[in-house]
Structure 1
Amino acid sequence: MPSARPPLSADRVVAEAVALADESGLAALSMRALAARLGVEAMSLYHHVAGKEALLDAMVDAVFAEIHLPVSGEDWRRELRERSVSGRAALARHRWAVGLMDSRRRPGPATLAHHDAVIGCLRAGGFALPATGTAVALLDAHLYGFMLQELALPFDGGDDLAALGAEVLGPEVRAAYPHFTAFAERHALRPGYAFGDEFEVGLDLLLGAVEGLRATASTARLEVTVPVLGVDGCPGGWVGALLVPGAPRPRVVVAPTIGELVEAVRTEVAVEVVGIDIPIGLPDIGIRQADVLARRELPGRASSVFTTLTRPAYLAGSRVEADAVNRGLSGQGVGSQAFALRAKILEVDAWLRSRPTVDVVEVHPEVSFAVMAGTVLPRKRTDEGRAARLEALAAAGIARPSVLEGRGYAADDVLDACAVAWSAHRRATRVGRSMPDPPEVFSDGIRAAIHV
């Protein structure tokens, strides 16, 4: 007995339509031809697809489903490279699809998931919305444009190309078009040349150029869309700069402990991210990558980033004891300024271990100001440094706080808190980046990274 045909379904209809288009081209696809291929009456197809346009929508969606879905939060360049390479492979399998990929008025779930993942990957990689739009346009133009050209070439491989070259490069062409002739003879017609090899070369160049869009993303003016809190240590305890949608300027808040400060703010405002200028995540041995990478962001001012001590060193009772412990675990001594931060570091560490129900990240204000302004700023305790920080904040969309100094805190503390709030907002809106990415995790289980 002949084997029974599998039951008709929307998935089977679409799969056979894709196979028919792959074999014979899109011009050969009709509802009647597809029904004949399936061994059914044409009218029975309409129980599974609404018509030819709906079928094309589903076929394009099936092709998108074959393309790598970029993972948000992973290395954006690697993810988008894989997306383009797998996209080229999918379009080579389905030559009919190149001109249809972004033409459908009713995109399917795989199409929408693909675009959402590409945008999400760029946003998580630190691209502002306008830069994301430009990056997507460039990447799509490279993928679809290259495939249109590659699939239209009048030769399949080296032998075809050599025959075409011999036909085209007659005496008149050689005499009239010397540059074309030299390119063909010295490059394109040489053994081993394949036009398709240019795809990944061009892709890597393009991704390098797209990196420039990411680098300029930080210059966009901040529009406060979610409430965040930036915190800096001060002689009186902790000073915070609160950014709230609709508020004309940062609100300054002061408290003796980090827990009291955050709790006081959260009784009034549901802040989404708290950024703190203090090391978060203490190494058991060695040096944190966060500190190494932050120094690279501050050429000429790397000394403003103190090396975070090991956890055992912070638990030591004196600087002399801490110095001996730290030298044994990381090879680094302990200076008086670094040890002076011990009490505040341990305070934040204990508070984090109490598991506060808010996203808390480490921010270094000098790095934030450098990224914000596009250059390393003068020292903060000088008149020039204070003016440069106020100017950078204003250019970034953060107005001068109504209060710059008060009992227990100075102007540089408030300005640092504002810069931390700027990075906290970038974290909340997923346009910032972390150093390293992904963060390190030590035995304390806390993610260690500086966010900007």
Structure 2
Amino acid sequence: MTESVWLRPKRGRGAPPLSRERIVEEAVALLDQEGPERLTMRRLAERLGTGSTTLYWHVKTKDDVVDLALDAIFGEVRVPARGVNWRADVAALIEGWRAAMLRHPWSAALLGRPLLGPNVLARTEFLHATLVGAGLRGPQLVAAAYGLSNYVIGSALMQVASSTEAAVREAADEHLRLNASLYPSLAAHGHLSGHDWDAAFAQGLTYLLDGIAPHAGRQPLR
């Protein structure tokens, strides 16, 4: 695996006016406008109006750019002021995380590398610290944190994947209708169109937190 950009010393400013911050800003804009399939070092250098050699002064690989862009996305997620209600604190963080990924639909699909940036770690620390404050430890803490993280990433992926053209959604719904004898539950309830994604996400998050709540304050299993 390529060494993480976060584990290498940050280089100097290099040739002004290019900076790591400027690179990240343009990379996020490129990903938002053109998608991850268009992200190449050459394409990014073109958008920055510079040469690849100058770009490579700041970032060694495309993976570096992806890691930096993802951390910038996490920076949009507000860290809640810690309160007395752990459920409300966790929900606020998770809902902010989802909103950030939906603003940048490419982000959830690229969460395949270890994320060690300061924005990611600060918010992950908040999640773990809040769950520890609720009384979770050991395997219970890991299961709760993983369950919440996987839920928000998976739900964002599903929503983005379903945000296709109306004709595509209608064709998928018609396919289920025509094959109702094979897939009766999906034909009745699994339509790709017409979902209230916000309500479904909120209800699913409530189910997760309800499942965690009985273990809060208990001695963890050995």
Q: Give the conservation status (yes or no) of the 8 Å contact 2:140–2:221.
A: no
Change (3 A) 1:176 1:114: closer
Change (3 A) 1:57 1:180: closer
The counterpart of 2:180, out of the listed 164, 174, 178, is: 174
What is the percent sequence identity of the aligned residues?
A: 32
* Structure whose alpha-carbon radius of gyration is higher: 1
Q: Give the conservation status (yes or no) of the 8 Å contact 2:172–2:192.
A: no
Alignment of 1:14-29 (within 5 A): 14-29=24-39
| Cα RMSD for the two superposed structures | 2.7
Mapped partners of 1:53, 1:62: distance in 2: 14
**Structure 1 position 62 matched with structure 2 position 78:** no
Cα distance, 1:51 vs structure 2: 2.7
Mapped partners of 1:167, 1:105: distance in 2: 39
Q: TM-score, normalised by structure 2?
A: 0.80
**Structure 1 position 12 matched with structure 2 position 16:** no
Which structure is higher in strand share? 1
Which consecutive unaligned segments of at least 5 residues does structure 1 have? Answer: 1-5, 222-452
- The aligned counterpart of 1:114 is 123
The counterpart of 2:196, out of the listed 194, 197, 211, is: 194
**Structure with larger RCO (C-alpha < 8 A, sep 6+):** 2
**Structure 1 position 211 matched with structure 2 position 213:** yes
Alignment of 1:310-329 (within 5 A): none
The counterpart of 1:77, out of the listed 57, 71, 87, is: 87
Mapped partners of 1:27, 1:189: distance in 2: 25
Change (3 A) 1:219 1:124: closer
Which structure is higher in helix share? 2
Mapped partners of 1:176, 1:132: distance in 2: 40
Change (3 A) 1:40 1:206: same
Cα distance, 1:80 vs structure 2: 1.0
Deviations 1:145-183 (A, max 9, x none): 1122222226456x764454235523xx23444333333
Q: Which amino acid aligns with 2:33?
A: E
SS across alignment from 1:47: helix
**Bigger mean CA deviation after superposition, 199-208 or 104-113:** 104-113
- The aligned counterpart of 1:389 is none
How many correspondences in the alignment? 207
Change (3 A) 1:179 1:106: closer
Deviations 1:340-379 (A, max 9, x none): xxxxxxxxxxxxxxxxxxxxxxxxxxxxxxxxxxxxxxxx
Deviations 1:12-61 (A, max 9, x none): 10110111011111121111100100111111112222332222221111
SS across alignment from 1:169: helix
Q: Which amino acid aligns with 1:141?
A: N
Q: Which amino acid aligns with 2:117?
A: G
Mapped partners of 2:192, 2:63: distance in 1: 43
Q: Give the conservation status (yes or no) of the 8 Å contact 1:150–1:196.
A: no
Mapped partners of 2:153, 2:19: distance in 1: 31
Mapped partners of 2:175, 2:188: distance in 1: 16
Q: TM-score, normalised by structure 1?
A: 0.42
Which consecutive unaligned segments of at least 5 residues does structure 2 have? Answer: 1-15
